[in-house]
Amino acid sequence: MNKYKNNFAYIDGNNLYQGVKKSNWKIDFRRFRRWLSDKYGIRRVYYFIGLIPKEKNLYAKLQKAGFTLIFKEVIYDGDGKPKGNCDADLVLQSVIDHFENNCESQVLVASDGDYSCLAKFLKDNNKLVAILSPNPKNKCSILLKRVNAPIVYLDDIKRKIDLNEKAPGKDGTLQGSFS
């Protein structure tokens, strides 16, 4: 993919966090951002996330890695667990960017079936490059699979974006010692 394209990515932050957490690894946001740029020509990455003041270090880390954060006010359930559903915000931003011709193509980072109508709309308009699923193959929504768009499972590229893995060299092999 031409890395000089003007493509945008849209990340459901909680979906990404929960999916990777279930797979028992941690994402290196700097490596992930670079991979998006190199693989898909992504210039802007919107990261939709609930605004929780105690997470300010995470927000600073994401911004430093090159993500554009879109915050959603959170509410707390009866158990004190934060809820900040960003689905509508992500869909709206994607559609705005499509209709205002802000980008050539788009990548969605989510496994949630709620995004299937957006994925279908983008695919029908030749704007969807890929869906990146934070969940394993058997946990990605069937509704997204039915769109018949390319789906890349982050588990399949884990060695390229895992916080605890050494970065592969230009030839694809891991660098450094394994001792």
- How many whole angstroms separate alpha carbon 168 and alpha carbon 129? 24
In a domain, 49, yes or no: yes
The two tokens of residue 119 are 């994925």
* Residue 9, H or E segment: strand 7-12
The two tokens of residue 94 are 């994607």
Give the angle 46-116-121 at the CA atoms, nearest 5°: 80
In a domain, 70, yes or no: yes
Q: Identify which has the larger pLDDT, 108 or 170.
A: 108
Beta-carbon contacts of 78 under 8 Å, excluding residues fewer than 6 positions away, are none
Give the pLDDT confidence score for residue 85 in this predicted structure.
85
In a domain, 166, yes or no: no
Residue matched to tokens 């704007």: 127
In a domain, 171, yes or no: no
In a domain, 179, yes or no: no
Q: Which of 116, 161, 109, 112 is nearest to 130 (CA)?
A: 109
Give the pLDDT confidence score for residue 175 in this predicted structure.
47
DSSP string spanning 49-101?
Answer: EEE-GGGHHHHHHHHHTTEEEEEEE-EE-TTS-EE---HHHHHHHHHHHHHTT
In a domain, 170, yes or no: no
Q: Which of 48, 35, 157 is nearest to 110 (CA)?
A: 48
Residue 2 has pLDDT above 60, yes or no: no
Give the chain's domain count: 1
Q: Report pTM.
A: 0.88
Looking at residue 167, the DSSP 8-state letter turns out to be P
* Residue 156, H or E segment: none
In a domain, 111, yes or no: yes
pLDDT band at 166 (very low <50, low <70, confident <90, very high): low
- How many whole angstroms separate alpha carbon 57 and alpha carbon 2? 33
In a domain, 176, yes or no: no
Give the pLDDT confidence score for residue 83 in this predicted structure.
83
CATH of the domain at 152: 3.40.50.1010
pLDDT tens profile 82-96: 888 899 999 999 999
Give the range of the structural domain holding residue 144, as residue numbers without chain letter: 7-161
